[in-house]
Amino acid sequence: MIIPRWEWRTFGQDFGQAEVNINKHEKKGFKKSEEKYILSKVSDENVKIRDDLVDIKSLKQVNADKLEQWYPAMKEGFPTTKDKLEVLFRDFFKVPMQFSQETYTYAEFLGLVATCEQLCVVEVYKERQAYEINQATVEIAETKFNGVPMRTICVEHTDPANVIATVRELGLEGFENINYINAMKTAVGMRG
């Protein structure tokens, strides 16, 4: 059973005392990854390719504290079928697309994306340091969006009250809550 998590995230270069507060806690893990995000000019769905899988998360709701609840919507490997790509382009990218074959490899899928002027592939590199604070997952990450360096802090948990309490306890409430898609669109010039 999938239990969607509530997320608070911000981007910047210097998080001051909040970062000091996080670093007082024990580190729980470290991960590096290289991913491709596919941004749509007409949709804010979170569509990425990691480990040769298309991984989609949809924003289900935003609460009064502006926390976002993201829900896993699709994980699909390659080769994939025309039917599944029709759902991806129609429901998530919100872009019409004609398909000329029944199955598509990873390279053929990226070729389709490249033909669509409403879509943009962003190469993303992440180095993520994880902590557990108040049973919430807290992450500090060094990222690059098409080579543009960005830093991000995230707090997530299934209980939104826990997320916002942890954000306040760490001294992060003065920072704007910005999700990956909005930060990326700004970094690559899709959004001013």
Asked whether residue 41 is domain-assigned, the answer is yes
Q: What are phi and psi of 3, to 5 degrees?
A: -110, 110
- Which helix or strand (DSSP H or E) is residue 134 part of? none
pLDDT at 126: 96
Measured in whole angstroms, the distance separating CA 126 from the mean position of its chain's CA atoms is: 11
Determine contact, residues 166/63, Cβ cutoff 8 Å: no
Residue 58 lies in a domain: yes
52 burial class (0-12, 13-18, 19+ CB within 10 angstroms)? exposed
Q: What integer best gives the mean pLDDT of the chain?
A: 94
Contact 154, 139 (CB under 8 A): yes
Average pLDDT of the segment spanning 2-21: 93
The pLDDT assigned to 103 comes to: 96
Mean pLDDT, residues 23-39 taken together: 96
* Residue closest to 129 by CA, chosen among 119, 142, 120, 117: 142
Task: Say if residue 96 is preceded by a cis peptide, omega within 30 of 0.
Answer: no
Q: Look up the pTM and report it.
A: 0.91
Q: Please say if the pLDDT value at position 51 is more than 90.
A: no
Residue 96: inside a domain: yes
| Domain assignment of residue 192, yes or no | no
pLDDT > 90? residue 191:
no
Say what the pLDDT of residue 128 is: 97
What pLDDT, on the 0 to 100 scale, is given for residue 192?
52
Domain count, the chain: 1
pLDDT 10s digits, 118-157: 999 999 999 999 999 999 999 999 999 999 999 999 999 9
In a domain, 72, yes or no: yes
Structural domain containing residue 137: 5-187
Contact between 155 and 173 (Cβ < 8 Å)? no
178: Cβ contacts below 8 Å, ≥ 6 apart: 9, 10, 11
DSSP H stretches of helix in 106-159: 106-114
In terms of DSSP bridges, do strands 68-77 and 80-81 run parallel, antiparallel, or are they unpaired? Answer: unpaired
Residue 17 has pLDDT above 60, yes or no: yes
Pair 106, 38: CB distance under 8 Å: no
Residue 4: pLDDT above 90? Answer: no
The tens digit of pLDDT for each residue in 70-86 reads 998 989 999 999 999 99
Tell me, what CATH number does 120's domain have?
A: 2.40.320.10
CB 24 within 8 A of CB 17: no
Mean pLDDT of 79-104: 95
Residue 2's pLDDT band (cuts 50, 70, 90): confident
* Nearest residue to 78 (alpha-carbon basis) of 44, 55, 46, 47: 55
